[in-house]
Structure 1
């Protein structure tokens, strides 16, 4: 059973919104990404959105594109990613975990097999950023059969018809995109029209609404929640922190090895920055004292 309802109920009782960071599994290596995920959880993440590397990530901007390439360069594949998630799930049995995966991956594997493998490691939801809701039915059916929440994107300034379709198809949460374009912090997020979209989605009894794309600062998280969203997702800002530490990690791995004190120090520096970032973003989901 999905862990999202319990999370959103707990947060609503506390008067808080959700903060969900995104990272790419396998970036910069599968082992490093597992340590990175633990830092996000330690910082106070309410849930996780985890990416699976893909060669043609059409919804992503340059920052997350580079994360895809680093993970692919490290040899990460779907099996590696699911193994990482399985270990994280074993340590955090109540934490909602969503995966962001491009549609070619489940299509190539076979939808039933793909969603069964996700369910086996404790994944709660799968977001397919390149599958529009009008083409979602076979994916949703296979997801439901495996007990996985299918998540779809509510585009900015979407028509009422599109919002109705997204509301009907989405489980777990609805991913509301804050602006036109790809992921990234180069252009700021926007809450313009969000209140109207959320009202329309709620009218159709949709799952809770999370705002994403361009969320990089605590004030943007607070703005999203004030505009009616149930929480915010931040990807490129999180991935940028990882990217800034990759040279130090790579140098330590090359010169002294991943088991060395130097590598451990480089990883701790990265984890500390991630914990602080998540803590600051999470604090913005709480009401002002």
Structure 2
């Protein structure tokens, strides 16, 4: 959690928004996945959001679904994911690392075992896509015990009760959905609701991060101007992997270029 606090303090001083890329661990294979993550960090990523491969990622569109399938076909399991995370954390001790995953993965590992392992690996946050805040009591207890921020999602149609509840329990950051539905870059992205942003800012100092369908400079600049503290981009990055699957050098070069461009767009004075 301290890594997030330090990061957002630094970004505020530099008048920058936070740029967080999302990829699936082990996509398309362990070796290239590690190189991709290295490239994203060296190219300007402020933090990481990483997914465990899952057979039924119901909140994800076709691009991220395909990433899950590629990783699973290469026999990427949670043990290999933890090994990769250990390698990343050892090399990059200061970057915030968040996990975005589905509840069945955690239940399969064992909820307590999962949080304990994440604590040992110095994971900063956990976002469980299919567990709403109303059903998160047991997860919250363990996140407190193991000092890991539990991230909550706020939909664009959230009422005052939900906004207040998220504000009370949120740590690390609050995930603001651009729109309802699934991830992807083919649908028109809705701007984050200014009313929701103002309500959160009146209730909490926890940073607001926007995700779902964020893929270009204009979207990022508009979100930052509205008071969003940063963005998460996944599909646009993973699409590069999909389109260049047989050429790892091109994958790394294109991801490097994209991350630099998207990160630059978070600069408030740019």
| Length-normalised TM-score, structure 1 | 0.91
Q: Is 1:276 aligned to residue 260 of structure 2?
A: no
Alignment check: 8 A CA contact 1:174 1:206 kept: no
Of 263, 267, 270, which residue of structure 2 is paired with 1:286? 267
| Aligned counterpart, 2:80 | 80
3-state DSSP of counterpart to 2:98: strand
- Please say if residues 183 and 214 of structure 1, whose CA atoms lie closer than 8 Å, have aligned partners that are also in contact: yes
CA distance in 1, matches of 2:72, 2:205: 35
- Give the structure 2 partner of residue 201 of structure 1: 200
* Whole-Å separation in 1 of the counterparts to 2:10 and 2:203: 23
CA-based RMSD of the aligned residues comes to 1.2
Larger radius of gyration: 1
Stretch deviating more after TM superposition (195-204 or 221-230): 195-204
Q: Is the 8 A contact 2:177 2:192 kept in 1?
A: no
Alpha-carbon offset, residue 204 of structure 1: 2.0
Q: Would the aligned equivalents of 1:28 and 1:71 in 2 still touch at CA under 8 Å?
A: yes
Is the 2:29–2:71 Cα contact (8 Å) retained in structure 1? yes
Query: Displacement, 1:190?
Result: 1.7
> How many Å apart are 1:96 and its aligned residue?
0.5
Match of 2:241 in 1: 242
**How many Å apart are 1:122 and its aligned residue?**
1.8
Alignment gaps of 5+ in structure 1: 249-265
Describe the shift of the 1:127–1:206 C-alpha distance in structure 2 as closer, same or farther (beyond 3 A): farther
CA distance in 1, matches of 2:165, 2:105: 24
The aligned residue for residue 156 of structure 2 is: 156
Number of residue pairs aligned between Structure 1 and Structure 2: 270
Measure how far apart 1:208 and its partner are: 0.5
Whole-angstrom CA distance in 2 between matches of 1:237 and 1:165? 32
Structure 1 position 102 matched with structure 2 position 83: no
In 2, the alpha carbon distance for the partners of 1:205 and 1:39 equals 33
Aligned mates of 2:195, 2:129 — CA distance in 1: 22
Which runs of structure 1 show a deviation greater than 6 angstroms over 4 or more consecutive aligned residues?
none
Q: CA deviation at 1:200?
A: 1.3
Question: Deviation of residue 231 (structure 1)?
Answer: 0.3
- Give a deviation string over 1:94-126, Cα, whole Å, max 9, x none: 100101110112223222111111111121101
Find the aligned partners of 2:204 and 2:240 in 1 and give their Cα distance.
Answer: 36
Q: How far did 1:44 drift?
A: 0.3
Q: Equivalent residue for 1:140? A: 140
For structure 2, which runs of at least 5 residues remain unmatched after alignment? none
- 1:171 equivalent in structure 2: 171
> 1 CA distance for matches of 2:80 and 2:227?
37
Name the CA distance, whole Å, in 2 between partners of 1:167 and 1:57: 27
Q: Secondary structure of 2:215's match?
A: coil
Question: Is contact 2:176-2:192 (8 Å) kept?
Answer: no
Residue 192 of structure 1: how far off its partner (Å): 4.6
The residue that corresponds to 2:182 in the other structure is: 182
